[in-house]
Structure formats: structure tokens, C-alpha cells
Amino acid sequence: MKICSLLFCTVFFVSLLSFAQGDNEIFIYVSPNGNDAWSGTMAQVNEDKTDGPLASIERALDKVKVYRSSETQGKTIKVVLRGGIYKISNPIVITPEHSGKEGAPTIFENYQGEKPVVSGGIRIQSWKKEKEGNWYVADIDAVREGKLIFNSLWVNGERRQPARIPDSTNPFGDYPSKQEFFIAKKYEYLPESENQPGTLKVFYDKESNIQNWGSLTNSYCVLFCKWAVPLLPVRSVDMETRCLYLNVPKNFWFGVIFAEGQRFYIEHLFEGLNKAGEWYLNRKEGKLYYIPFPEEDMNSAEVIVPVVEQLLLLEGKPSENRMVEHVIFKGIEFVYTNFAIGERGQSDPQAEVSVSGAVQGTGTRYCIFEKCSVKHVSNYALWLRSGSQHNIIKQCHLYDMGAGGIKIGETANAETDESSGPSTVDEKKLYLYKDLGTTGCGYNTVENCFIHEGGRFLRAGIGVWIGRSSYNRVAHNEICDFRYSGMSIGWCWGYDPSSAHHNIVEYNHIHNIGKAQLADMGGIYTLGVSPGTVLRNNHIHDIMSDPEQYGGWGLYTDEGSSYIVLENNIVHHTLTGNFHQHYGRENRVINNIFALSAREQIIRSREEEHISFIFERNIVYYNRGSLLGSNWTNKKWQMDKNCYWNASGKEVLFKDRTFQQWQQEGFDVNSIIADPMFENPEKGDYRLKEGSPVFSLGFQPIDVSQIGLYGEEEWVNLPEQYKRIPCPISSE
């Protein structure tokens, strides 16, 4: 028996070595038409069908692990995926044992000219037309048995809207009308106790036609609360007091985001199932209802529901200094994930920050995602968590996301090695450490990615979110069609030390953000003390918050944002301002173009005893609204060498002061009131004509040709294929 075992192991090891193709590379082939009993040494099945590619990525990982533990560990391993769909019921897990080395990475890539798709969805078939309605119905046993709950559904590759009341004029509520919402008169929060679960009471006005519908307890409220959108299951309704009783999660954050007059609607209501493209899931009976569009044949339609929350996990152990390193993914598509909100609902204080990533890495280093796509997901597309350093995400297409695009870092400071001593950044001795340690997150790059159509389910998701993470670079991306901010940098309110600093955000095209749904948001939003952070050469436009609340700004330095440089940006067509500083210290706003905000142009909120910002060599161009908004009384700011112009022909006023009075107070002494001579500002062309007076101020022209995506023509022109409802700011 021992001899047989030894012989088997020898043959097995020799067969592994037969993968080697060349001195430094090993190839493993995988195909949906393969067989896990085969060797995987060939890209296609042999003539007698006795050998060929493997069938599963999991089996390929088993082989990678064996290679990495053998004498071949110094070679590059390429797991080549043939085209087709790889259906999974559990996430694919990459561990430190699969890691490559510098110069010898582990690579997962598409077979040339083919597209492998990792899918966490299942197809629903056997649809039946019901006589009493215009909908079709399908039975799903896993739902009836309590094994599956889903909140997203796709038909022929397009996300569909759950049935709701009131109806929406378009599937995802972009630029909604008042008729698409109920109005909350007030809220009352009852914290969890021994006698009852946590409850949010929502009192609605008498005009709201809310009823005790039969499916009400199978629905949830979508509450638009300034910068957050809780999804809270409905427990009951009191028709007499006009009050909805909603379940809330544990540790529910009830604060200033809940205010009188906010909007909401009720989703997943059978009684709201009345329009083509809407669906409803009866969880108790396990029945899925759908109303097809006229061109959809339910006998052939591809109806997908998600069953897996995460598709790919890179699971290092940073606390043990065991990392996933030197792993590369090329040309792979990741699709269809689930994010069940459960009976207590889902609520985050901002940015859907707790929501998982469809692709997620912890303790991930020197890894690359290149020319991959993540689409049709219910959560964030990708999240690099603690211990993730020196990773690159480049030329990836991330879209149709339930929450947001990319998250980098955590919400708490990492444990860092202070042995090298702190470096002070100002006289107040705000400390930060360059050594991120093993658990810190930083030095990551997001470049040349197209990130769009976020917040489809969890509405406050963000294009790129950087938490307590430093030394990251986000460059040459196009980010659009989010309901909250395009980017969020930092995660610290006030002036406490933060491990979010030295982040570079440059050459990004950020547009069509807000969609008139949320508030207190921006094209780029920052938080906390962040020396070394630079926002430069970004093009930001069409930023529209909920017009009945407040705050849709282009560049927004929020609470405690300090020591940040904002330079060479073009910001135009925002609702409430192109630059807004809530409060912070000594931010430098240099050589920017701020144009055509519908209301105020430059806003300064809280007044403090230190210098708020230095504002120099900027062009501010407007034709409506006012130049300055909010508080400008304590004179703790610096402004000079700027060009201001009111294209409506009205006088340029500085908070009711004339230009001369303003200069007498010591501001803009070397500035000018003059037409900067743009080529066509209304159409977004801010090139300066020859002879522009701003050159005398030392203003440097901003080259927009370097902003946004780069590379192959097909890639650069990809955004033009996606149509959207025009932003009312630009269309007026």
C-alpha cells in the first residue's frame, strides 16, 4: 500500500511539472466545458476526450497551491480562463498560499480574444402568465424555504425596478418630481429594549395616500435623509395617527439626517406592481412576479437573480503578517451579487460605508486588476481593506452597482509602528506616521477606470471612497451617474489626527452626480486633517443635489478638511456652489476655474480663528446667483490675484460689498473684474482665448485633453455609449 501511495504521489507531482511551458512559466487552463479530473495542461479537449482544461477556478487554485509549495514556486503561474460563464455558489478565495513573488506572479487571465465571466447569479425560468394581471410568475423554492432573499433582479442584462408606491417616472428616480414621494412630517426613534426591537416611527402628511396594503409587511421604506438613504422594513401602519412603524438595525444611527419634510417611498409592494419592468417577490410563498416590456418574451428572456454576496476574496491575514501578494487578474468579468438587507433593514451614517465589495481584498499587496469588469452587483464593486498596500486597479469597467465603485481602507485608524517617531505637520502637533505597519492601508492606485451607474439599490454609494488610508493615487478615471458624491477622501470629522493623508486625486472626469436625490455632497468630498493631499486637474460638472434640501457642490472640503491643495481644477454647472468649505484650516485653492453655479459660487460656512483657506489665481465666472455664500465676516481667509466676472451684466458684489470696499478690507488687492474670454463656457469649453486678461495674474491654462480615460480609442470612447437624462442645471 505504501509503495502504491508513493507511486501515485510521484505520478501526481510529475503531472504537475508537465504544466511547465518554458523555463519560467507554468500554464493551467480552465474552461466551463472542462473537467476537474483532467490535467489542465491543454487549452482544449484532446481528440479522444480524455484530457483537457479544468472545469473550475477552485480546482485550478488547488493546483496553484501545490506549485507554490514546491520547487517551482519561483515561476510565474498563469491560470488561463477560456470564455464562458463560471457559475459559483460560494466566493472564490485566494489565500497567501496562492501568492506569487516579485518577478514571478500568479496570474488569472482571459484566453486571448475570449471573455470569462464569474457569475453569482442563477437564471429563473418556467414563467407562467397569470390571468388576473399583466404579470408573469415563477416559483423559487429557495425563497419559500427561507434560504434566499434578494433585492435585485436583471432581465436580459438590465437591472429592473422593484414595484413601488408612488410610481417613478424613470426606473431609478433620476431628477425626480414631487409626485414620486411621500413626505415625512416628523420622526420618532425608539431604541431597542428588552420589551421591543429598535423602531423608527415615521409620521406622514394627510396627502400621502398610504394604506394598510396586504403586502405592506413584505416591503421596506426608502428614506431620503440628506446624505443617507436607510432601507427599513415596514412592521405596521397606524392609519389613525398616520404613522409607519419601521424596523431598524442594531446600533442604528439616528441624528440630524432625519428632519421634517424629507421624502420617502415604499418599495417591494405587490400593490405597486403596475408598470412594465417592475417586479415583486413574495417571500412567504416563494413567488417572483414580473411585468415584461412588449419586446420581452418570457420563454426566452434571461432573468437573473443573485445568490452570492461576494465573488472573489483575497484573504490575507495582516495581523499575522501573512499577505496575498503578487496576484494579477486580467480580462475577467465579475457579475451578479446579492446583498440582503434582512428583517432589521440596512442603514449607514454615510456613503454606505459598511457594505461589502463584490471583489474584496484584505492583507492584499502588490496585486493588480487590469482590464477587468465588475457589473450588475448589489454591493460595492471592489474593496481594498486593512493591510492592503501597493495594489493597482487600472482600466477596469465598473458599473450598474447596488452601492458604489471602489472603497479603499477602513473607518478607523490602523495600528501603526510608532518606533520611528512621529513627524509633526504644524505647530499644533497633529501627528501622522509614514509607516503604515502591517494593518495599514495605502499606496494603492486607481487609474484609467470607467466607474458609473452606482447607488442603484443602496443609494448613497460613492464612486471612489478612501477612508483612513494614505498615499493613494486616483487618476484619469471617469466617474458619473451616482446619487451621492463622486469621490470621498478621508474619514475623520474635526481636527483629530487621521491616517488619511498624502492622497493624490488628479485628472479625473466627474459628472452627473447627485441626480437631485441627496444633499450635503460633492463631486469630490473631503474630511479631516489631510496634509499632502492634492486634488488637481479634475473636471467636475453637473452636480445637482436635492433642490429642496441643500448642498450639491463641486469641490467640498467638509468638517476639519485641512492642509489640502486644490489646484488646476475645472468645476462648472453645480446647483449650490462650485467650491464650499464647511470648516478647515489653510487649504490652498489655486489656479482653478469655477463657473456657472445656479446659486452661490464660492461658499464658506463655519468661521474659526485660523485661516480657512488661501484662494489665489482662480477664475470665477457666473451669470446668476451670487458670488459668495454663507459666512464672510471674521476675515480669516486670504484671497488675491483672482478674476471675477458676472456674465449677466450685473455688478460683482462680495457679500453686499463693492469690489472697492472688498479691496479696502485687504482682500483681492491684485485681483480683477474682467471677462476671462472663454471659448464657450455654456457648452463646457473653458479654453482661454488669446489676449485673456487672466494671464496678467499668472493664471496657467488647464489642459483638459489630459483629463479622463486614455489608451485605445474604443476604451476612451466607451462613455459615449451610455445615455442619461440631462442634468437640469446644464439644460436650462
The answer to whether residues 93 and 188 belong to one domain is no
Examine residue 709 and state whether it is found in any structural domain, yes or no: yes
* Number of neighbours of residue 621 by Cβ within 10 angstroms: 22
What is the Cα–Cα distance from 499 to 495, expressed in whole angstroms?
A: 12
- Structural domain for 110, as ranges: 2-120
Examine residue 108 and state whether it is found in any structural domain, yes or no: yes
pLDDT at 495 over 80: yes
pLDDT at 5 over 50: no
How confident is the model over 85-114, as a mean pLDDT?
Answer: 98
The answer to whether residues 86 and 231 belong to one domain is no
Using a CB cutoff of 8 Å and minimum separation of 24, what contacts does 679-682 make? 681/572, 681/595, 681/596, 681/621, 681/647, 682/596
Q: Assign 3 a pLDDT band (cuts: 50, 70, 90).
A: very low
What is the Cα–Cα distance from 25 to 19, expressed in whole angstroms?
A: 9
How confident is the model over 108-135, as a mean pLDDT?
Answer: 95
What is the Cα–Cα distance from 474 to 256, expressed in whole angstroms?
A: 31
- Return the axis-axis angle of helices 57-68 and 2-17, rounded to nearest 10°: 100
pLDDT at 16 over 70: no
The answer to whether residues 111 and 253 belong to one domain is no
What is the Cα–Cα distance from 12 to 23, expressed in whole angstroms?
A: 20
Nearest CA to 208 out of 244, 257, 163 is that of 244
Which of the listed residues 72, 98, 120 is the one where a domain comes to its end?
120
Q: Is 178 exposed, middle or buried (0-12, 13-18, 19+ CB in 10 A)?
A: exposed
pLDDT at 413: 79
Q: Is pTM beyond 0.85 here? A: yes
Nearest CA to 508 out of 463, 573, 443 is that of 463
The answer to whether residues 491 and 565 belong to one domain is yes
The answer to whether residues 47 and 138 belong to one domain is no
The answer to whether residues 74 and 174 belong to one domain is no
- Residue range 163-207, pLDDT digits in tens: 999 999 888 889 999 999 999 999 999 998 888 889 999 999 988
pLDDT at 640 over 70: yes
Q: Yes or no: say if 37 and 24 are a contact pair by the CB < 8 Å rule.
A: no
The answer to whether residues 104 and 134 belong to one domain is no
- Residue range 534-576, pLDDT digits in tens: 999 999 999 999 999 989 999 999 999 999 999 999 999 999 9
How many angstroms separate the first and last alpha carbons of the chain? Answer: 84
Which of the listed residues 286, 305, 324 is the one where a domain comes to its end?
305
The answer to whether residues 562 and 629 belong to one domain is yes
How confident is the model over 59-68, as a mean pLDDT?
Answer: 97
Q: What angle do CA 392, 395, 399 make, to 5 degrees?
A: 105
Nearest CA to 43 out of 412, 33, 15 is that of 33
Cell 421591543 belongs to residue:
196
Instruction: Name the strands in the sheet holding 278-282, side by side, starting at the edge strand that comes first in the sequence.
Output: 128-129, 136-139, 287-290, 278-282, 161-162
Cell 474670454 belongs to residue:
677
Examine residue 338 and state whether it is found in any structural domain, yes or no: no
Host H or E run for residue 24: none
What is the Cα–Cα distance from 410 to 158, expressed in whole angstroms?
A: 32
Q: In this structure, what C-alpha cell is assigned to residue 72?
A: 517551482
pLDDT at 19 over 50: no
Q: Yes or no: say if 241 and 251 are a contact pair by the CB < 8 Å rule.
A: no
Please tell me the chain's helix, strand, coil percentages from 3-state DSSP, rounded to the nearest 5.
10, 35, 55
What is the Cα–Cα distance from 655 to 601, expressed in whole angstroms?
A: 12
Chain-centroid distance, C-alpha 415: 26
Q: Is 157 exposed, middle or buried (0-12, 13-18, 19+ CB in 10 A)?
A: exposed
Exposure string (b/e) for 248-278, b if CB count within 10 Å is 16 or more?
bbeebebeebbeeebbbbbbbbbebbeeeeb
What is the Cα–Cα distance from 139 to 288, expressed in whole angstroms?
A: 6
Write down the mean pLDDT value for the chain: 93
Q: What angle do CA 375, 376, 380 make, to 5 degrees?
A: 70
DSSP designation for 14? H
Which residues make beta-bridge pairs with 334? 118, 374
Examine residue 406 and state whether it is found in any structural domain, yes or no: no
Percent of the chain surpassing pLDDT 70: 94
How confident is the model over 268-294, as a mean pLDDT?
Answer: 97
Examine residue 240 and state whether it is found in any structural domain, yes or no: yes
Nearest CA to 264 out of 191, 195, 208, 340 is that of 208
pLDDT at 429: 40
pLDDT at 419 over 50: no
Pick the residue with more confidence: 427 or 699?
A: 699
Pick the residue with more confidence: 675 or 132?
A: 675
What is the Cα–Cα distance from 86 to 82, expressed in whole angstroms?
A: 10
- Residue range 499-526, pLDDT digits in tens: 899 999 999 999 999 999 999 999 999 9
Examine residue 38 and state whether it is found in any structural domain, yes or no: yes
pLDDT at 263 over 80: yes
The answer to whether residues 240 and 173 belong to one domain is yes
CATH at residue 610: 2.160.20
Which residues make beta-bridge pairs with 186? 203
- Residue range 319-373, pLDDT digits in tens: 999 999 999 999 999 999 999 998 999 999 999 999 999 999 999 999 999 999 9
The answer to whether residues 502 and 595 belong to one domain is yes
Virtual torsion, Cα 181, 186, 190, 191, nearest 10 deg: 80
Which of the listed residues 305, 334, 369 is the one where a domain comes to its end?
305
pLDDT at 716: 98
Nearest CA to 159 out of 458, 512, 456 is that of 456
Nearest CA to 454 out of 382, 534, 558 is that of 382
Residues 6+ away with beta carbon under 8 Å from 412? 468
DSSP codes, 110-124: EPTT--EEEE-EEEE
Phi-psi region of 418 (alpha: psi -120 to 50; beta: other; left: phi over 0): alpha
Q: Yes or no: say if 567 and 544 are a contact pair by the CB < 8 Å rule.
A: no
DSSP designation for 680? E
Residues 6+ away with beta carbon under 8 Å from 640? 615, 616, 667, 668, 669, 670, 671
The answer to whether residues 145 and 105 belong to one domain is no
What is the Cα–Cα distance from 601 to 620, expressed in whole angstroms?
A: 7
Number of domains observed in the structure of the chain: 3
Examine residue 372 and state whether it is found in any structural domain, yes or no: no
Residue type, 388: S
pLDDT at 416: 53
What is the Cα–Cα distance from 98 to 67, expressed in whole angstroms?
A: 9
The answer to whether residues 108 and 176 belong to one domain is no
Examine residue 412 and state whether it is found in any structural domain, yes or no: no
